[in-house]
Amino acid sequence: MKHIAILGSTGSVGRQTLDVIRSFPNAFSVTGLAGWTNVTLLQEQLDEFNPTFVSYSGADDTETSLQLGKSKLSTLIDMACDPKVDLVVMAIAGPASLVPTIEALRAGKTVALASKEAIVAAGPIIQQLVAQGATLFPLDSEPSAIWQCLQGETEISKLIITASGGPFRTYDAIELAKVTAEDALKHPTWSMGKKITIDSATLMNKALEVIESHWMFGIPWENIDVVVHPQSIIHSFVEYKDGSIKAQMGRPDMKLPIQYALFYPERKENPQIERLDIAATATLNFEPLLIERYPCYTIALEAGKSGGTYPAALCAADDIAVELFLGGSLGFMEIPTLISKVLDEHIPGEATSLDAILATDRWARDRARELSKLLT
């Protein structure tokens, strides 16, 4: 039986991870659960799974908010690094995943990573840990698709990551300026948390996946492409040196890549995961990515290629920009403006120490809040 800690258990990926675990009750033991503000759902999860450890960061007085039973309060890092834990599902939204991801890898845990900001901000550190023997699995749909297509292959030509294009794929500049948070949260194919849904609308998420894939799979920047695929049926392609291309296909359902990571290298039948009916799929469409429509994509990719602490500043600035947009104090097209202003002021350092990355994160958050006041 595999002992699992789920950091971000009340979010979209965390909930779907528990759905997969429910389908295989004899394969997994939930050792730790960490939530944020949804104390009601976290309490339900504690009552059902009775984990050894629980972490709840959304309130000051956790003990009075939760009926712990036999569970013990823990920090994210202590939970992720506990000797009882075999696999850590890292599903915390945004840069808050950075420290527990690195500490879990240092502790020798297998980490299934949905929180791509960790590897975006600290790519060199995480890449070095993996080179030294740490085990890191991608949990998000597109990186998982690449991972699956790479199995048994060495002669790689390039990666082709698919993007739905988000809900505003056909909008012009005038329409984009009028986009509200309610509009942006209506993703055409995926059901996700708020942060990643907004990042998908701006295509920030796709740029983060490119950066993640660069570090996770060791592929040069010039060998990673993005193509728009509105149906979200093909999750990524890998092209090989002989010109052959593999594609990983499936319904837009996060439970499939989650289950692949939990059972790797085995594949298991799960009646709860709906199969893709190829005949009923009808048409699959592909379009070039029009980067002029998605300024966040270009800004993020430039930050990734620039390296150093630029990616950490990018993740922090985006986190604040999305927060302000969801709160109604920043316009949709002001998201890239704010991020760009923060990056323009950033004096980069080397991303070889966790302290430098965390200092950049703090600076970028504070500066983003200050600069946002000048945009309103």
Q: How far apart are the first and last CA of the chain?
A: 54
Helices of type H across 66-140: 76-81, 98-106, 117-121, 123-131
SS3 349: coil
Distance CA 61, CA 369 (A): 27
Quick one: CA dihedral 325, 327, 329, 331, positive or negative?
A: positive
In this predicted structure, what is the pLDDT of residue 211? 98
pLDDT digits (tens, 9 = 90+) for 136-177: 999 999 999 999 999 999 999 999 999 999 888 888 888 988
pLDDT < 70 stretches in the chain: 58-64, 376
In this predicted structure, what is the pLDDT of residue 64? 52
Q: What is the pTM of this model?
A: 0.94
Distance CA 167, CA 362 (A): 31
Top-level CATH class of 2-138? alpha beta
In this predicted structure, what is the pLDDT of residue 170? 87
SS3 137: strand
In this predicted structure, what is the pLDDT of residue 316? 97
Question: In this structure, are residues 45 and 36 in contact, taking their beta carbons and an 8 Å threshold?
Answer: no
In this predicted structure, what is the pLDDT of residue 376? 66
In this predicted structure, what is the pLDDT of residue 186? 86
In this predicted structure, what is the pLDDT of residue 190? 74
In this predicted structure, what is the pLDDT of residue 187? 83
In this predicted structure, what is the pLDDT of residue 177? 87
In this predicted structure, what is the pLDDT of residue 58? 59
Domains of the chain, residue spans: 2-138
Tokens 């604040």, residue? Answer: 320
